[in-house]
Structures are given as C-alpha cells and as structure tokens.
Structure 1
Amino acid sequence: MDNSMPVVSKMYCSSTPAALMIRRRPMVVNGGGFVVTDFSHNVVFIVDGCGILGSKGELMVKDSDGEQILFISRKGGIVQALSTRNKWNGYSMDYQGKNKLVFSLTDPKSCIAKGAPVRIHIEPKRHCNNWDFEICGSFADRNCTIIDCTGKIVAQMGKKELIESNDFYHVTVQSGCDQAFIIGVMAVLDNIHGESTRC
C-alpha cells in the first residue's frame, strides 16, 4: 500500500524514515544557505539563500545534481505590509523552468501575533482544520516538530549529538513524507530566524 504524501513530488517520498543531516555553509561573498546529506555524507539537497540568489526573501532548494526543484519567496505588497503575519509561497519547478504553487507558510511578525503557531497550507487545498501542517517547538534551539492536522508527527529536528554547534543539526522525516517539502520548510525557518539563508 502506498502511503506517500507528495507535496513537491512523489520521488522525494521514501517508504522508510529518512535521517537527514543539515550543515550550514559559511557566509562568504557568494556563500550562505545549507547542504543536506544523508548519514553516509551523500548530498541529498542544497539550499541557496540571499547570499547566492542576490534577493532577500527568496530561497531555492536543489537536488543533489544542482537541479532546481523548489523556489520559495516571501510575499510582499501593501496587503502583506499591513498583515500581522508574513506569508511565504513555495513553488515546484519543472524541467522547463515553470513553477506551480505547492504550499504557503505563515509566521507571526508582530507582538500582536507573537506566540501564534507557524502553519503551512498545501496547494491544491486539502486541509482538515484550515491548515495542513503546524510547526511546534523552537527552531532556534534546534528542537522542533512538524505535525499534520491530525496531530501525527511528520518530521522532527534535533541537534547532532557530540557537536555543540547550531551549524549542524538533523531532521528525521517519516516514511511517506515529502523530504523536499520538509527541507523547504527548514529553509524558511532558517531565514525567519536570520540564519544562513539570510543576507
């Protein structure tokens, strides 16, 4: 029985849980972002941020071959400026460079909305509680969980044992869950917290 939950693509869903290691790239002139490997040190994903793309509020997730698979941008405009939340949109990229909206993420940006959960909506809409996924815990402390609208854990983040650095952490993605989507969410959280993807 196929229990995959693709968001970007079914090809990023595994039948077994996947343990991924995230290592921040140093901030240099053309640096920033992070690299995602499996525990055998094989590159699985590459995330580029402002330091490489040259635009604030834009992120790119690539596969191990450097092919663009997910473009993420923070929504702007007057409506967004007046909102108590920031909205990020994630677009899947096909081989012709066309993109299709696959998810949106909202995070509180003012003291009025402080403490409000970070929620993710999948496109096309398939939510059960006006949202599809929620982020619990603290990204800054490298201790957060992504749950679906039924309360099931789909991904869990933690620090790498024996390494006392926020430059290395791991994410366990449950079987059937879209790993590219989870890494896209990690990229947005990284940017929100002013880390390696932000200039």
Structure 2
Amino acid sequence: MTNIVPIVSKLYCYSSETVLVVRRRPNVVNGGGFVVSECGSQSHRVVFKVDGCGVLGTKGELFLRDANGDALLLMRRKGGMVEALSIYNKWKGYSLEYEGLQDLVFSLKEPNSCLVKKNGIKISTEPRVDSKKGRDFEIRGHFPDKNCSIVDTRGNVVAQVGVNKEVEKLMASKDLYHVVVQPGIDQAFVFGVIAILDYIYGESTRC
C-alpha cells in the first residue's frame, strides 16, 4: 500500500507516480505566475495555478489555486526589521478553509547569510488536528537550472524538478519544465514549495 502523506489535503495524494508540466506565464500576461497541467494527456488538463505578486499586487505573497481557481494555499514571506536581521528568510504556507480561515501547514527557511548557506533550504510541516508529528524536508540541487528535488529526512526523493530533453530542444528557455511526484505525496504541498522557489530565484511569480 502507498504511504499517504497529506499535508494540504489527501485529495492531492495519488497512488501512482505522477508527472506534471509547469508552464510559466510571462509577467506581462495575467501578472505572472505559472500553470501546472497533466503530462501525456491530450487535453493537458490544468491541475493547479499559481498567482504571483503581479496578480496580487503584494510582494512576498503567493496563491496556489485548483483548476477552478479556488485558493488552496497562501504562501507569505515574513518581513520586518527582525526578519531583515535574521540569518534565514522565512516563508509560511497556509491552507485556506471554506470559511476563509487560515491553517498553517508548512514553513520554509531560506539561508540569508553566508554563515548558514551550506545548510540549504529547509521545509517543515505543521502537526495537523490528528496530532501526528510534522515532517521535515529539504531542497537539493539548483532550482534555476530546473535540476533539483524535494527530499525527506530519510533521503528519499518525494518530488523531482527537471526539463524534458525533447522539450528543451524545442525551447531555448526553461519556461516549460516537469515535476515528477512520487506516490502518496501531496501535490498541492509540492507546488506550494515550488511557487516559493520560483519567487526566491526571481522567476515568474516575482514582480
């Protein structure tokens, strides 16, 4: 049986490996962000959409939406003087309930100092109402090269970002890339993390 790891919702935990395609929206079109669709299907069905600060008008804030445009996750970067002096930049990911309530589901720490650069980007999930312990993850590789992965504490790759070689031959840029998500892993969580990486490295979600 597949070990289900729901972080945002078990609705986005599939029993088999899934390959999804990310297509960046230019900042001049719909304010930036990206669209996630199924790979291999003729319809190219949209699964998620990410709105960047060009859409929202607020820096350091991103939304992950489902195919219908309903908000699933709000990713917000902490700010202020204390944060500016911190050795880490911190992001918080909140799931959005139907009543508009925000529930913290994960935190991401990006090294903001040469003292901790070697530590890399760390992600921790928050315990849910069932009192299960949160899980920790980290980013390995280099996102701007579209060659990185989200890895759990045991070293297992839960999601891999890459560029299809056939697509790469047709496109000079990396505006189109794929993400392989392992069975049981919450895809909404994965793309919430990827949205933050996109912003950190000044890509489609950043103004």
- Give the share of equivalent positions with the same residue, in percent: 57
Deviation at 1:2? 5.3
Contact 1:126 1:132 (C-alpha < 8 Å) held by counterparts: no
Is the Cα–Cα contact under 8 Å of residues 61 and 74 in structure 2 kept in the other structure?
yes
- Determine whether 1:196 maps to 2:204: yes
Aligned mates of 2:118, 2:195 — CA distance in 1 = 20
Aligned residues, how many?
196
TM-score normalised by the chain length of structure 2: 0.90
> TM-score, normalised to structure 1's length?
0.94
Unaligned runs of 5+ in 2: none
Distance 1:136 1:97, change over 3 A: same
**Match for residue 13 of structure 1?**
13
Q: Which deviates further from its counterpart, 172-181 or 70-79? A: 70-79
1:153: how far off?
1.0
Alignment partner for residue 162 of structure 2, among 150, 158, 162?
158
What CA distance in whole angstroms lies between the structure 2 residues aligned with 1:163 and 1:139?
A: 18
Q: Within 5 A, what are the aligned runs for 1:29-178?
A: 30-39=30-39, 40=41, 41-124=44-127, 126-127=133-134, 132-164=136-168, 165-178=173-186
Q: Mean Cα displacement is larger for which, 116-125 or 55-64?
A: 116-125
Structure 2 residue 191 is matched with structure 1 residue 187 = no
| Matched position secondary structure for 2:118 | coil
SS at match of 2:105: strand
More displaced stretch, 118-127 vs 77-86: 118-127
- How far apart are the structure 2 equivalents of 1:29 and 1:152? 37
8 Å Cα contact 2:2/2:183 also seen in 1:
no
* RMSD, matched Cα: 1.4
CA distance, structure 1, for counterparts of residue 62 and residue 77 of structure 2? 9
CA contact 2:8–2:186 (8 Å) conserved in 1: yes
> What amino acid sits opposite 1:70 in the alignment?
L
For structure 1, the 5+ residue unaligned runs are: none
Aligned-pair CA distance for 1:29: 6.3
- What is the CA–CA distance in structure 1 between the aligned matches of 2:65 and 2:107, rounded to whole Å? 18
Which stretch shifts more, 176-185 or 157-166?
157-166
| Deviation by residue 1:101-127 (Cα, 9 ceiling, x = unmatched) | 000000112333223210001002725
